[in-house]
Amino acid sequence: MLDILIVGSGGAGLSSALSAKQQGATLKVVGKSYPTASQTSMAQGGMNASLGNVTPDSVQAHIDDTVKSAHGLCNQEFVKWLCEDALSSIAWLDGLGVPFDRTKDNGVAQRQLGGASSRRACYAQDYTGLKILHTLYDSCLKEGIEMIEEHMMLNLIVEDGVVQGATFLDIIGGEVVEIRAKATILATGGYGAIYKNFTTNSEGATGDGVACVLRAGGVVSDMEFVQFHPTALKSSSILISESARGEGGYLVNSDGERFVDELLPRDVVARAIAYEISKGKEVFLDIRHLGEKRLLELMPQEVHLCKLHEGIDPAIELIPIKPVAHYTMGGIDVNDKLEITGLKNCYAVGECSNAKIHGANRLGGNSLLEIISLGRLAGKNAVGCDCHRTTNNTSQLKTDKEFIEGLLEEYPWSQNFYTIQNELGEKFYNHVGIVRDNNQLNNTLNELRVIKASLDDMGIGDKSRKNNTNLVDFLQFINMLEIGEVVIDASIIRDESRGAHYKTAFPKEEDKFFKAHSCFWIEEGVLQNRLVKVVS
């Protein structure tokens, strides 16, 4: 039997795979797209490690910045472990061949990102995530790691609370298959795509792993904490990296006024921009003063994206921007061994998980760090996982086969789910977004429940078995609805403002009640919740 099944082939999945392989485990990495297509490729700014190559820095300063940004909702011991491990993670990537930029003293170059007390983010131009991901991929090929593409996870296989593997839709062939393993690692990414058309995330960031854990009876937590990136292109929601502000870019409104310190944490800057927009003003990023030569050297990708999607040249024109959903801090609840609460032999890592590192707001540069450091940790821990005797009960496979058959044969197509998905994305942006209000949250929840109840009228127009991307889109939409409900529920419960979660009626942090993780799980078909206090 396979030792480890890794679901998701982005930076977290591939790091897990390399670390597990190094320890002699047999494993498979399974993803719904190609490994190099994952969200990791989109990370631009950098990866934090307190090397102090450019300005003085320390592990303690990195810890302090991370804890401050988390607003009380982190596991400080685990943050300490991560910030210490950052140094060896950079060395590990360097050894694999990641082409980090260098200082004039030949050290790894580091840049300033928001909320950091030093130039801490190691970078490779504005292609940091791309170059890390591709180097990990090359390393996996070298190690002969089996990577199975175009398989979308449908459900975890669970017997007596022990995860035995997962079922998948083979997108190419259209069959439902199961892959069993002694231990399963979920590295399936975040759920930012619930804010469809109002997110920097890729189309595939639909939180499939989070939804699978919910359906399997596991716990998810802090789902209300969604980071909005201050600077996405206005008309396309394409990300303009924080490094644009780190390198000296200004934010100005349509009156030409600067209105916020650009290097404050993302939640503060995003709210300041949202406030300007609510007053009817437009907001722009101004990087003209950096000059064309320097722009092309520091952020060639941004220059290209501005020209293509906004039709402007940032060397001579202002860049129209708006804040959009960027990163989901919440996710599958895990302990500091990355084991999923409520499920055995199953781990979660990366954006799909809530490892209590980012808390209420993630610092720029900590997400790449998390997927590498904790990715390696997940691989190591899963190798040491106690093996439980497994059975060959195929009831999950049978259920999932029947469900897919039903979609292909029975569901009508009286309502176009794509239209509903687009409308819902906008509602999430406006009502479950940067500034929240209980009335609007409740209304959106009711609308979402109506949509869920009418799923039987939707279904797919394309009934082909093979290469049916319409089917994949619909399965993702179902996951988005399940996750969206928890995001709204969690937002309603948290009557305070903390980090990325802001309610006008409750503008302050209320530690007495809410210095706590909001935990959700399904019991006998009903969504349950509990606030679990942070012990510090």
Partner 1 sequence: MQIEIKRQEILEDFEILFESTTLLKALYHIKNNTDNSLTFSSNCRSGICGTCAVRVNGKEVLACATMVNDGDMVEPLRYHEVERDLKVNKQKARETLKHSMAWLERSQEVSITKSQVAVTEKQSDCILCDSCYSACPVFEVNPNFIGAFALTRVYRYTADPREADIKASIDAIQTNGIWDCTLCGECTAVCPQGIDPKMDITMLRGTATQFGYSDPNFQAMDFGFGGGF
| Active centre residues (catalytic) | 229, 245
Residue 102 as a binder of partner 1 (CB under 8 A): the answer is yes
DSSP string over 198-223: SBSS-TT-S-HHHHHHHHTT--EE-T
Task: Report the distance separating Cα 203 and Cα 225, nearest Å.
Answer: 20
Closest CA to 516 of 281, 404, 409, 356: 356
- Binding of residue 203 to partner 1 (CB under 8 A): yes
Give whole-number Cα distances, 376 to 21, 372, 525, in Å: 10, 6, 35
Instruction: Using the minimum distance from each CB to partner 1, give the nearer residue, 172 or 387.
Output: 172
* 191 is an interface residue for partner 1 by CB under 8 A: no
Position 146 contacts partner 1 (CB under 8 A): no
101 makes contact with partner 1 (CB under 8 A): yes
Least distance (Å) between residue 260 CB and partner 1: 25
Beta bridge mates, 365: none
Site membership for partner 1, residue 461 (CB under 8 A): yes
Burial of 317 (0-12, 13-18, 19+ CB in 10 A): middle
Q: How many binding residues for partner 1 (CB under 8 A)?
A: 57
E-state strands within 263-405: 283-286, 319-328, 331-333, 346-348, 353-354
Q: Which stretch binds partner 1 (CB under 8 A): 38-46, 72-80, 436-444, 448-456?
A: 38-46
Q: Does 125 bind partner 1 (CB under 8 A)?
A: yes
Binder among 23, 55, 138, 452 for partner 1 (CB under 8 A): 138
- Name which of residues 343 to 402 contact partner 1 (CB under 8 A): none
Q: Which is nearer to partner 1, 203 or 292 (CB)?
A: 203
d(CA 162, CA 183): 9
- Residue that has been written with the tokens 């669970």 in this structure: 158
Burial class (CB in 10 A: 0-12, 13-18, 19+), 528: exposed
Q: Which is nearer to partner 1, 38 or 341 (CB)?
A: 38
Alpha carbon distance 234, 2 (integer Å): 47
Q: First CA to last CA across the chain, in angstroms? A: 42
d(CA 335, CA 343): 12
Q: Which is nearer to partner 1, 455 or 532 (CB)?
A: 455
Cβ-based nearer residue to partner 1, 309 or 388: 309
Q: Does 235 bind partner 1 (CB under 8 A)?
A: no
Q: Does 56 bind partner 1 (CB under 8 A)?
A: no
Does 241 bind partner 1 (CB under 8 A)? Our answer is no
Residues that bind partner 1 (CB under 8 A): 33-34, 36-39, 41-42, 94-97, 99-104, 106, 109, 124-125, 127, 130-131, 134, 138-139, 141-142, 149, 172, 202-204, 236, 238-239, 301, 304-305, 308-309, 413, 416, 418-419, 422, 460-462, 464, 466-470
